Chains A and B, each alone.
Chain A
Amino acid sequence: MRRRAVRYPLAFTAVWLAASIVAIEAHAEFELAAWDLSGRVSLEGRAFPQTGIDASQRSYTTGFVVEPKLYLEEAEGSSFTLLPFFRYDSVDSVRTHWDLREAYALLYGELGAGEWEVRLGVDRVFWGVAESQHLVDVINQIDFLEHPNGEVKLGQPMVHLTWTGDWGVLEFFGLPYHRPRIYPGRGGRLRFAGLVDRERVEYESRAEEWHPDFAARYSRSFGPLDVGMSVFDGTSREATLVCAPPACGGSAFPSVFIPYYSQIRQFGLDAQLTLDSWLLKFEAIHRSGERNPLGQEEGIRTALIQGGGFEDILGQYREEEYVAAVVGGEYTFYSVFDSTADVGLLAEWNYDERGRRALPRRQPMTLDNDFFIGARLAFNDVQNTEITAAFLTDASRETRNLGFEFDRRLFDQWSLHAEANLILSIDPLDVQYVGRRDGFYEFHLEYNF
């Protein structure tokens, strides 16, 4: 029980099991109206054509994922969902991890002309409309070990209240516990040049991971327009990495960074206009409270020379306030050339007020003035074959990424996923320059039950 990351899901599962047993004992005549067990098992492999910048990093890895889902329904308006996740990785013991993605009780009912809904437990929440990044989406920590694109999330303990009416949907989130981001271990790829300390996590709040975070969201559809407004107040999901001696700098190699989580406040706006085959998308955030080391190099160097500790170095990091946005759209050509296939074209522009001092938010790529161009070819065949291509380019620097994905169902329960993530070029001035050798190929053979 040495590691925080492992301790959390174990503790949470134990609490849930105990609570469930007590609940079932209390209702001796507890009867299920419906139940359902489903899930997936996936065999996966990843290959990096280039060796890592640290000699201890490996160039290929294999492993598997198990993700069952149990659904129990007591009556209409009262159910329980349990969705644990486990990954085994052959080279990185840190990437061999497990998580409680979902474990929540769901209750709902009538409230005047509208309705109420309560989700209590661990859950995942998605906000937003854009494809190249999910700016407004702040409730969950991402599972950075799974994929650098930030699409996979860790479960988040929460009380989630929803009130729906003719006037829209109002949601409140009480988030009592913070999940730190876990970074790949020594043998793993897709990490920084240094390692991230897994024993030490620093918080701005004295309550540390138990700081109560709050969020709210109001959303509504006006005909073809879907709009959402959100606010988040609490512990940032993105760590500020602090390099402090003796584990960092000088003779220490690889350097070990200490993750520090600031208290932030974020306002978000997301909107989508759906007109015929057009989807027009917009997301914007205003965030304050996050600390940034970029641009403070001199001060940090001086603090290091003077033999400063963690606090002295962190003191050099500047707290800042910024605006970031994504604007773009998607157009689909249906049944192209008299076939059953559809072709979708996507384009988005990512902006960050901090410019070159922007920090990577959810993926290793900083998106300060970056264009995303994508294409999706859906064959609409029996095997549901789909090919997507995504190109991300920095408008002001020489940083370009290209990705391909291929998905196809093999038999009724088996499906195949293959992808290529290529780094075409990377600017030496970019924060993510350390990841320049981490382009990779990946494949999954998935069994769904």
Chain B
Amino acid sequence: MRTIHAYLVRVLLLSPCLVVLSWLWMSPFAYPATPEEIGLKIATESKARDDGFGNFTAKQTMVLRNKQGQESRRQLRIKVLEVDDDGNKSLTVFDEPRDVRGTALLTHAHKHEADDQWLYLPALKRVKRISSSNRSGSFMGSEFSYEDLSAPEVEKFTYRYLRDEPCGDLTCTVCERFPVDKKASGYSRQVVWQDKDELRIWKVDYYDRKDAHLKTLTVGNYTQHLDKYWRAGEMNMVNHLTGKSTVLTWADYQFRTKLRDRDFSKTGLKRVR
């Protein structure tokens, strides 16, 4: 009797919570949650919608522009593998500039600990384990840092929902995200605009450690793959401090290719061309 009684009490006590939880789940932007909870919910939901893509390959072109308008080009190939219960594995191969052709960067991202990174130098045929703490450094002299180009794992930030506002023809939610490991990031916070329908990112404002507005990223030319996964076609990063900008264009997206875990090993890294 006592156990049944205790059970009933527990059910009665818990049921309102369950109702609230399930209600929150169904309508992510519902009223009673705190801005922090809504922010986290949006981030979690964005990640959940991208789950199951398996792997993809794409070509990237970067056009770096300085204040005077002089241009410099970078050409890369990227391969990404989804990993269950951990960060993705990715392999980036440099095609241009020609002097770094064949150089490749292998990253095993992790949700909680530091990422593992290896660099392959084709002239020496050397694989070098490198420090992954350089997240705020410039990627190939561009306005993108390593941090900007890595997949934002949910666990690496805390969140705060700010407001909803129109963005083009869509309605966007505007959220702030703050790095959990403050030393590992070059930013104090980022403000992210995502449309409410598909949770695609359209704009990010980056604030440096002194909370000055450092950079703005605008994203566009989205395409949908496998009837589910949205991928950006163009990303434009403008540095307000230096007046420099970088346009990153993505092309030739291919999902669920023959890529396997073994292609993202040190042995696989030595095979890139």
Contact = CB atoms under 8 A, between A and B. Distances in A.
Nearest to B273: A71
Interface string B51-76: 00000000000001010000011000
Interface residues of B, number: 38
Contacts of A381: 141
A272 B133 contact: no
B125 A106 contact: no
Given A125-B125, A335-B186, A279 B96 contact: no
B200 interface: no
Interface stretch (B33-41, B79-87, B98-106): B98-106
A263 B72 CA distance: 52
B141 A76 contact: no
Interface string A52-89: 00000000000000000001010010010100000000
Secondary structure of the A contact surface, majority rule? strand
A409 B262 contact: no
Contacts of B97: 384, 409, 412-413, 448
Nearest to B262: A115
A192 B173 CA distance: 73
Contacts of A448: 97-99, 101
Interface in A290-334: 332, 334
Contacts of B140: 384
Interface stretch (B13-21, B151-159, B220-228, B263-271): B263-271
Interface string A235-265: 0000000000000000000000000000000
A90 interface: no
A114 B262 contact: yes
Q: Could you say which interface size class chain A belongs to?
A: 35 or more
A381 B143 CA distance: 10
A277 B131 contact: yes
A12 interface: no
B137 A276 contact: no
A363 interface: no
Contacts of A276: 114, 131, 133
A13 interface: no
Contact of B64 (A129, A340, A382): A382
A279 B129 contact: yes
Interface in A391-449: 409, 412-413, 415, 446, 448-449
A383 interface: yes
A279 B130 CA distance: 8
B131 A332 contact: yes
B137 A335 contact: yes
A384 B134 contact: no
Contacts of B131: 274, 276-279, 332
A380 B134 CA distance: 12
B234 interface: no
A446 B99 contact: yes
A205 interface: no
A151 B126 CA distance: 11
A379 B100 CA distance: 16
A199 interface: no
Contacts of A274: 116, 129-132
Contact of B116 (A76, A106, A151, A221): A221
A126 interface: yes
Nearest to B66: A382
A27 B242 CA distance: 58
B124 A162 contact: no
Given A382-B141, A413-B97, A164 B73 contact: no
A169 B266 contact: yes
B98 A449 contact: yes
Interface in B101-127: 101-102, 113-114, 116, 124-127
A384 to B, nearest CB: 6
A124 interface: yes
A36 interface: yes
B42 to A, nearest CB: 30
B138 A340 contact: yes
A221 B137 contact: no
Contacts of A413: 97-99
Contact of A164 (B100, B130, B265): B265
A413 B77 CA distance: 19
A117 interface: yes
A160 B148 CA distance: 39
Given A36-B273, A169-B266, A384-B141, A126 B125 contact: yes
Contacts of A177: none
A129 B273 CA distance: 22
A23 B180 CA distance: 57
A383 B70 CA distance: 12
B98 A412 contact: yes
B134 A334 contact: yes
A429 B133 CA distance: 45
Given A117-B267, A126-B125, A334 B137 contact: yes
A380 B114 contact: no
A108 interface: yes
A283 B258 CA distance: 37
21 contacts: A73-B273, A108-B271, A125-B125, A126-B125, A221-B116, A276-B114, A276-B133, A277-B131, A277-B134, A332-B131, A334-B134, A335-B136, A335-B186, A380-B137, A382-B64, A409-B99, A415-B99, A448-B97, A448-B98, A448-B99, A449-B98
A-B pairs, top 4 by smallest CB distance, nearest first, are A448-B98, A382-B141, A126-B126, A380-B138
Given A106-B271, A224-B114, A276-B131, 12 more contacts: A71-B273, A79-B273, A110-B262, A117-B267, A169-B266, A219-B266, A279-B131, A334-B133, A334-B137, A342-B137, A413-B97, A449-B98
Interface of A: 36, 38, 40, 71, 73, 76, 79, 81, 106, 108, 110, 114-115, 117, 123-126, 129, 151, 162, 164, 169, 219, 221, 223-224, 226, 272, 274, 276-279, 332, 334-335, 340, 342, 380-384, 409, 412-413, 415, 446, 448-449
